[in-house]
């Protein structure tokens, strides 16, 4: 039998161990887990190619390229807020819906003259609002107020106001009807538009002499008008 030098045998053992280690199931799993998985882009962004340093985001079903590089004190958010904090506090109700992707102030910062700064650096002079500025209305935006409160239009914009206490047989209606049920038919078409929030007769009651009574108590029982309401606000 041919005898190999001790050094040569050691080399063969080392090569054998190296081959076994490279082909072990454990390493195969490691290699497999390290592979990149390509996920196809779906939706409007699937057909959009953005330029350098921009990324495609979808907003309201439309795709657009946005620059996600923000200024100091800002972060990029896909669901921007309509109520970004500013140096001037506001009691106007916040619109609870997403705005377009944008750079907004990081937590702990506020917006002042276009920049995001520490609140301690805010100017002591509060800016005035131009008299010709268009303000939001409750009917035009989706506002989420706390329980027992409702959106209300004011001279300075929209705010959340406490619901009033209604008389007996009445309830507060956020989408008040122009065709509240009465003992006597109104004799005119009923609009589907919402009137300003107010107290109206509960279901099963009708308006008579300024009060809400049971329909069976009407002095002259006739055809009761039907209230049609639109809650698409």
Instruction: Name the CATH superfamily housing domain 44-120.
Output: Laminin (2.10.25.10)
Q: What is the pTM of this model?
A: 0.37
Fold of 164-233: Laminin (2.10.25)
How large a percentage of the chain has pLDDT more than 70?
60
Q: Above 60 in pLDDT, residue 187?
A: yes
- Predicted pLDDT of residue 229: 42
What average pLDDT does the structure give for the chain?
71
Residue intervals in the chain for CATH 2.10.25.10? 44-120, 164-233
CA 223 – CA 78 distance, rounded (Å): 54
How large a percentage of the chain has pLDDT more than 90?
13
Nearest Cα neighbor of 112 from 79, 78, 76, 88 is 88
Whole-number Cα distances in Å, 131 to 95, 139, 152, 156: 22, 21, 20, 10
Region 187-203: mean pLDDT is 78
Q: Above 90 in pLDDT, residue 40?
A: no
- Predicted pLDDT of residue 166: 93
Q: Residue 47 — very low, low, confident or very high, per pLDDT cuts 50/70/90?
A: confident
Give residue 31's region: left, alpha or beta (phi > 0; psi -120 to 50).
alpha
């Amino acid at each position: 039998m041919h005898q190999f030098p001790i050094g040569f045998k050691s080399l063969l053992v080392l090569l054998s161990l190296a081959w076994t280690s490279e082909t072990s199931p454990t390493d195969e799993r490691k290699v497999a887990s390290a592979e990149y998985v390509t996920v196809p882009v779906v939706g409007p962004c699937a057909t959009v190619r953005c330029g350098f340093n921009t990324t495609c985001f979808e907003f309201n079903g439309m795709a657009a390229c946005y620059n996600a590089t923000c200024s100091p004190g800002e972060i990029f958010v896909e669901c921007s807020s309509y109520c970004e904090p500013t140096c001037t506090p506001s009691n106007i109700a916040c619109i609870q819906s997403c705005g377009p992707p944008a750079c907004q102030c990081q937590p702990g910062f506020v917006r002042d003259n276009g920049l995001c700064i520490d609140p301690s650096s805010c100017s002591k002079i509060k800016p005035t609002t131009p008299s010709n500025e268009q303000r939001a209305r409750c009917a035009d935006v989706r506002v989420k107020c706390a329980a027992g409160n409702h959106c209300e239009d004011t001279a300075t914009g929209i705010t959340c106001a406490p619901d009033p206490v209604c008389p007996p047989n009445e309830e507060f209606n956020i989408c008040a009807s122009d065709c509240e049920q009465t003992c006597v038919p109104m004799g005119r078409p009923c609009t589907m538009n919402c009137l300003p929030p107010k107290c109206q007769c509960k279901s099963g009651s009708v308006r008579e002499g300024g009060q809400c009574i049971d329909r069976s108590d009407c002095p002259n029982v006739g055809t009761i008008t039907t209230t049609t309401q639109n809650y698409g606000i």
